[in-house]
Chain A
Amino acid sequence: MNGIAFRLHIATITYGKVMKVRVLVPGQNEEGAFSPGEKSLDEIISPALSELDSHSSEVCRYLISLAKNGSLEQHQTRGSITELAEKLLRMLEGE
């Protein structure tokens, strides 16, 4: 199927009726959400940070750690975003 490894639920036949057949897209788990193994946030943003890495590897590492520990995927208040920006700028200045 288009080269994509689809996983099929087992089709159960009862009383002559075909029960639901579900097709999942790659990386998706039974609940419909993508499994963590698909492509994590740090993997998504790492290529975009390569230039920053050559200027400030500490800031780059910190951003990747935020992506890894899930902070970037959680709702942040305006206050916490401000603190985060301050921290990044301080780190940037420190190098």
Chain B
Amino acid sequence: MRIDRVELSWFRGAGESGMLDTGSKSVVVYGDNGSGKSTFVDGVEYITRNGRVCHLQHEYSGSYQEKGVRNTSTPSEENSRSAIHFDDGSSIGADIKPDGSFTISSDPADLKVAIQNWNVESHILRQDEVSRFIHYTKGQKYSALLPLLGLSNLEQAAENLRQLRLNVIEQSGVEAKRILHQQLTGATKERLLSLKEEDVLKTLKEQTKKYAIEQPAEEIKPLTEQLAAEIENRINSLEPKQNRHIIVKQILEEKLLTKLENMISADEKAEEKVGALLDLRISVLEPMEKFVGIIEDPEKEIQCPSCGQMVVGSELIEHVTKELELLREVRAARDEAKAKRKELADSLGSVTKKTAEPNFKSWLELPEQEEPSALIAQLTKIQIAEPDVRWKTEDIVALRDVLPKLIALLEKEAERAPPSTKELIDDRDFVQICSTVPKIHELEDEIKRVQTLIEALEKSEKSVRDEIRNRAEHIVREISVDIRRLWSKIHPGEPIEDMKLYVHGEVDKAIDISLKFFGTDQLSPRLTLSEGYRNSLGLCIFLALALFGGGDDPIILDDIVSSLDREHRGMLTEVILEDLVGRQVLLFTHDREWYSELHYRLPAAEWKFLVLRPWESPEIGLQWSESVHTFDDARDLLPNHPEACGNRIRAIMDTHLSIAAEKLRIHMQYLRGIRNDYRTCVDFLNRIIGEAPERLRKKVDNRWLPYDDPISDWKTTRDLLIAWADRASHKGTLTPGEAEKLIDSCERALNHFRCRSCGDYIWIADQSGRKRLQCSCGELQWRYG
């Protein structure tokens, strides 16, 4: 898929209309700083990021970045627009209203999804982001690579399995069941040697003989019901005194004191957790919770609704999930406290009821029972709180005072119970314990079933994560091969080597970069590499990722060579020529020298060269130069500073002709000392003029004939440069008319290096065996042998 053109209207630096017409070719756009190059990159990014440009993310840019995206001179009722048209006729466009709200639509409709799935890490690289990947954390590197690794689906599956497991744990109540199981088995173990059904049944059947049950049931549950009913009958038929002992025992079994302490402890724990967390977390989570549910692609960056920062969706989801887990802990503590309050309230209610039974009441009324009577009177006065409400401090103090005294008295009374009563109570307790055995087995089955499911989900998640790791390791090894290859092209023979991405051994979702620096292993490029080298490595990583995962999507490079010196820029040109073949590249630069080099080296059949004129005002917006050379910045000086224009022209010609001479294998005479490095355009032009009659040929009727036309233009240009450009430099005198003529002459001179038929430069193809350079169609030829 190739971009045919990018159309902008009142978008960033663009005025009413601004168009980058690539003609479906790769393109190099030259422009001074502020000429509007990045406006086109912003236009593309705005669409791919669904209405957002990363570098405009700022507290002052407005909710929709409308203060940054819209041209400041946009008529108030006018919408801003950005549209990308592709070579197959499809297109996608954003229509931005004055308030910043926008719609993005495409033709065909599914193109929008495809374009917005472009991974910025492998499509767009900007000057200030060249080393961004290096500076990412391990997790960010992983997230950045995930779409390229093609593992997003598996990552999503692992996350779904994790969420499913947590949900099963929560919904099944397996943890509560486990606690109940522990409590029940703890109680039964004191009285039963075995929990096997046949053993319990056997023990219970012995009891049935004792209580003369004629037709004992064959299962535990009905059998315990038969026994409990019989024991209860016998208890009810006891003498009042014996019956009172039963009640005393029952009151003691309520374990009021323990329940009171449990409730106080649970309340304190809940208070501690709730107080510290609840308000803070809820304020953070409330806006987020709704948001998380609507995140369509967890690997894309989104704006956090709470703090406004850009975060990867999956990280936000993880953050919210963790926060929710914390809150759930708090809620569990609160529920626990509520349960303990209810437990105590129920027991107190039960005790109050029992103390009102006639047998017990009559005992309390005896003169010697004044103390327990008074204590029970105090107890019944305490108002039992609802489970949702915390007990009043004075009630807790009263309970702590009354209960120990009352329980001590009742324990003494219980010791006085006659043996027959004790046996009945003991048997009743035993039957009660046996009755819990079926429940224990039931719980065991339930827990085991759910546990099997939980473990299966956990193992599945682990299997998926292992698979992700294996595949990721394979792929990052491959990407690393590309990174090393690209690095060795840009930095041949330098002692920084063996750079590679690696999947972190211990941490999930983590990828990092290592390298060898002068033979020593380094776990991060940040430890030893200079900023320039980091940028260079960042560039290699971007290109390796683009080569790996970009398919045939365009690559956009915005002013990426700022920190590279001339030599390394030259090497990068090699990379573009050799490694990005077949890919559409939209390359923006303010570096005139590099632009010229690219202009002379990249084939015209695949590349288009454009020059942006300096930007003047928001109303005028972007302006293209008529020329593909970079004389327009000199032309802009014409009206007011013609002498400065002369200097600029000579600087431009110095750059262009030095590259042209190098390409044409022109051997310059050796000069002593530093003068060797300061050749001028006139020096180069003289040599070219001198060698051209022997070397320059044009194909006419299949015959290679000497081609003299350019030579006269080159001579004229040389003479004008000597006469006028020198005068402009030394005396500061050059008229606008002279300057204009000089520019025209220089442009004509440079255009002679280009074939008029195919548009390529004469040196684009090197037949090194025959020592000939020629354009793509072969019409122009330079013989250097």
Binding site for B on A (CB under 8 A): 12, 14-20, 22-26, 28, 30-34, 39, 41, 44-45, 47-49, 51-52, 55-56, 59-60, 63, 67, 72-79, 81-82, 84-86, 88-89, 92-93
Contact A45 B463 (CB under 8 A): yes
Contact A32 B160 (CB under 8 A): no
Q: Provided the pairs A20-B579, A52-B453 are in contact, do residues A32 and B148 lie with their beta carbons within 8 angstroms?
A: yes
Q: List 30 A-B contacts (CB under 8 A).
A: A12-B581, A15-B765, A19-B578, A20-B578, A23-B478, A23-B481, A25-B471, A26-B474, A28-B475, A31-B549, A32-B150, A32-B549, A34-B150, A39-B467, A44-B154, A44-B463, A45-B464, A48-B456, A48-B459, A48-B460, A67-B157, A72-B157, A73-B160, A81-B164, A82-B171, A84-B164, A85-B167, A85-B171, A88-B164, A92-B450
- Chain B contact patch, size range: 35 or more
**B547 interface contact, C-beta 8 A:** yes
Q: How far is the CA of A31 from the CA of B548 in the complex (A)?
A: 8
Answer yes or no: B368 CB below 8 A from chain A CBs: no
What residues of A have a CB within 8 angstroms of the CB of B766 in the complex? Answer: 15-16
Known contacts A16-B768, A31-B551, A74-B156; decide if A52 and B452 are in contact (CB<8 Å).
Answer: yes
- A11 CB to nearest B CB, Å: 11
The residues of B that contact A86 with a CB separation of less than 8 Å are 171
B450 adjacent to A89 (CB under 8 Å): yes
Contact A75 B464 (CB under 8 A): no
Contact between B463 and A75 (Cβ–Cβ < 8 Å)? no
CB-based nearest A residue for B452: A55
B313 CB, nearest partner CB in chain A, Å: 9
**A89 with B150: CB separation less than 8 A:** no
Chain B residues closer than 8 Å to A55, beta-carbon distance: 448-449, 452
Task: Summarize B's interface: helix, strand, loop or mixed.
Answer: helix
Residues A41 and B295 in contact, CB atoms below 8 Å apart: no
Give Cα A48 to B459, complex, Å. 5
Asked whether any CB of chain A lies closer than 8 Å to the CB of B686, the reply is: no
A73 contacts B481, C-beta separation under 8 Å: no
Knowing A44-B467, A85-B167 are in contact, say whether A51-B456 is a contact too (CB < 8 A).
yes
Question: Which residues of chain B in 268-320 are interfacial with respect to chain A, using CB atoms and an 8 Å cutoff?
Answer: 292-298
- CB-CB under 8 A from A82, the residues of chain B are 167, 171
* A78 CA / B292 CA spacing, docked (Å): 9
Q: How far is the CA of A44 from the CA of B38 in the complex (A)?
A: 45
Distance in angstroms between the alpha carbons of A39 and B157 in the assembled complex: 14
CB nearest neighbor in A for B458: A48
Complex interface: chain B residues within 8 A of A45 (CB): 161, 460, 463-464
Sample of 13 further A-B pairs with CB below 8 A, known A33-B150, A84-B167? A14-B581, A16-B768, A19-B582, A26-B474, A31-B150, A31-B549, A32-B548, A44-B154, A48-B460, A73-B154, A75-B297, A88-B453, A89-B168
What residues of A have a CB within 8 angstroms of the CB of B460 in the complex?
44-45, 48-49, 63
* Contact for B581 among A19, A28, A44, A67, CB less than 8 A: A19
